[in-house]
Amino acid sequence: MHSMLKRISLFLFLSLGLLFIPMRSIQAQNNLFENLEVGASLNYSTLHYESDGDVLNDIISYDFGFQIHALINQDLSEKFILQSGLEYFFYTYEFEDQIIQQTGPNGGATGNYYKNSMTESFSTSYLTVPIRIQYHPFSNYPIYFTAGPEFSYKIGYSNGTYESVLYSENDERMQESYSDEYDVPESANDFLVSGIAGVGYNLYPKVPLSIELKAKHSITPYLSGGNYIKSWIRSLSFSVSYSL
């Protein structure tokens, strides 16, 4: 039953994007590709934990992710454009190594130390339906502003292993204290609502390209629940789009 509900939810989620395809006439359908743009983004995304998880904010580190998109633009007026479609969003992160000195029975340092580390980066990927409004305030300048919500569904993740190993003072591996699966990507919420705002620049009519710099913050938490500290995704992206 749970699997079926997830399939139905995904179907409804994907169907939302179709609501924003221009429907002017049969002729408009023939000119659909004139309103379509495809592109890719380079993302730098972070997790921000609540105040009781400040220590995690200090030790977590991130890698660059990416995003690909296919979007439809619908003119609302001379200055406003409605934009929607589908985007694939992927990002990775990991925790920095933590060194803890081993102490003896009298509380003094033995020279040995524990190294807590993650064996690999961890990732989460989402399929996203954005609903953005572009505002073109200047008729003589190709600069515009964009903002709106994004609705995302988790379609993939990669868990890993968190381990603690005892090393000698000569950095020789002595003993594995524990090893456990890091299942936060799997336990992250399936649905995510985010807000986005940014600025763009049109390079056409010289070339059919536009570039954008956007900031995103999740409105609903990436991670929540009784056993987890709430965290939100923050992202900065640079994207290039090609208009067909």
Q: Which tens digit of pLDDT belongs to each residue from 110-124?
A: 888 888 877 777 889
Give residue 194's identity as a one-letter amino acid code: S
pLDDT tens digits, one per residue of 129-144: 999 999 999 988 899 9
What φ, ψ does residue 138 adopt, rounded to 5°?
Answer: -115, 125
d(CA 139, CA 198): 19
| Whole-number Cα distances in Å, 142 to 41, 71, 76, 135 | 20, 19, 17, 11
Please say whether the beta carbons of 17 and 129 come within 8 A: yes
Structure tokens belonging to residue 230: 């709430």
Inform me whether the pLDDT recorded for 31 exceeds 60: no
H or E stretch including 236? strand 231-243
58 vs 105 pLDDT, higher one: 105
Domains of the chain: 2-243 (2.40.160.20)
Check residue 97 and give its pLDDT. 77
Query: How many CB atoms sit inside 10 A of residue 182's CB?
Result: 19
Query: How many CB atoms sit inside 10 A of residue 9's CB?
Result: 13
Check residue 57 and give its pLDDT. 60
Inform me whether the pLDDT recorded for 23 exceeds 80: no
- Out of 20-29, 53-62, 65-74, 171-180, the most confident range is 65-74
Inform me whether the pLDDT recorded for 20 exceeds 60: no
| Whole-number Cα distances in Å, 13 to 25, 103, 190 | 25, 54, 12
Inform me whether the pLDDT recorded for 65 exceeds 70: yes
